[in-house]
Amino acid sequence: MTGPELAEAGRLLAAARRPVVFTGAGMSAESGVPTFRDAQTGLWQRYDPQELATPAAFRADPALVWGWYEARRHGVLRARPNPGHRAVAAIQARLPETVVITQNVDDLHERGGVPAPVRLHGSLFAPRCSACARPAPVLSDLPPPSDPPEPHDGPLDPPACGGCGAPVRPGVVWFGEALPSAALDAAVEAASGCDLLLTVGTSALVHPAAEIPLVAAGLGAPVVQVNPVPTPLDAICAVNLRGPAGEMLPALVRAAWPDADAG
Ligand code: BJW
Ligand code: ZN
């Protein structure tokens, strides 16, 4: 893959010392994990994801919401990191001050070689009590992740908290809930001090996460975007790489460092 945009993005990456990689659901799309705003499949087609991802939805129908998250968790367990995840790890290996900030609730960055991404929206693998916040074990009705689990589909009663008996909830951030303050602080600090922000596979519609690239741009860092379609961030980007992360990110790493193993 060639082109003036890729060459310019490669120059920006090669010159960077403290890049931030900011990722959304498109990062995992080529691993087979549906993006958040993609059409739902199967049983879930009847529901709007934006209406399931709320505290009110969980209160109204805990089995519906817990079942949806279990279905998604099973889907992630069957998925593998794609070349885009490995290219992000290659950037961090080359530039150890790289900070990876993700809105994703899957674990594909970790499995792709980024040990500690900053998680703005929590994780599918950290359930907790909906009343007392005590961490709950991930359901153990599954075979180990190396052995692909049977897909779960349909409503499922959440387990009860081992401490107080209230329903366990997914450890993700729903609409109307505050982001974990340590993660948000770390993200703002990294964006404020970065010399390049690479935004990958996000519609940039959900706040306050969508403000992270704006923080970097406002302080003068160039922003490079990887997305097959335009987003509200187009206007602030130095370079827009229109294409899928699994192809664009390895090409970007090769453009920056022709000798690199881009995954
Ligand atoms: C590819 C690709 C490929 C495809 N390669 N790319 C300011 C303005 C307006 C509203 C608000 C505001 N501030 C706050 C709000 C309200 C609200 C909000 O933002 N609403 C908007 C939707 C209007 N925000 C909140 O409620 C937040 N909380 C909050 O503000 O609290 C205030 C508070 C303070 C103190 C005390 C109490 C409260 C919380 C937001 C939490 C969002 N959570 C979710 C669900 C997580 C769990 C789950 O997954 O179910 O996070 S919503 C969902 O959106 C999920 C995602 O992380 C997030 C972002 O989505 P993302 O990643 O961008 O995915 P998509 O699907 O939208 O886009 C995919 C992109 O990939 C597309 O562009 C494709 O083109 C692209 N793509 N294939 C590269 N191969
Ligand atoms: Zn409890």
pLDDT tens figures, 37-87: 887 877 788 899 999 999 999 999 999 999 999 999 989 999 999 999 999
pLDDT at 145: 53
Give yes or no for residue 32 CB within 6 A of ligand 1.
Answer: no
Ligand nearest to the CA of 226: 1
Residues annotated as catalytic (active site), given as ranges: 121
- Helix, strand or coil, per DSSP, at residue 20: strand
The residue among 34, 75, 26, 57 whose CA lies nearest residue 130 is: 57
Tokens describing residue 198? 């690479």
How far is 69 from 57, CA to CA, in rounded Å? 12
Protein residue with its CA nearest to atom 72 in ligand 1: 203
* Whether 159 contacts 136, CB under 8 Å: yes
Can you read off the two tokens belonging to residue 114?
């980024």
pLDDT of residue 146: 52
Q: How confident is the model at residue 149 (pLDDT cuts 50, 70, 90)?
A: low
Say what the pTM is.
Answer: 0.96
| Residue 247 CB less than 6 A away from ligand 1 | no
What value does the mean pLDDT take over residues 154-181? Answer: 97
Taking a C-beta distance cutoff of 8 angstroms, is the pair 211, 204 a contact?
no
Contact assessment for residue 1 and residue 247, using Cβ atoms and an 8 Å cutoff: yes
Q: Indicate if ligand 1 lies below 6 Å from the C-beta of 207.
A: yes
Residue of 58, 104, 121, 206 to mutate, ligand 1, most atoms within 8 A of C-beta = 206
Whether the CB-CB separation of 110 and 134 falls below 8 Å is answered with no
> Residue 161 carries which side chain, given as an amino acid letter?
C
Per-residue pLDDT, 148: 62
Residue 236 clears pLDDT 60, i.e. is over it: yes
User: If pLDDT is split at 50, 70 and 90, which confidence band does 28 have?
Assistant: very high
Pairwise CA distance, residues 11 & 133, whole Å: 46
Report how far residue 91's alpha carbon sits from residue 216's, in angstroms, rounded to the nearest whole number.
Answer: 18
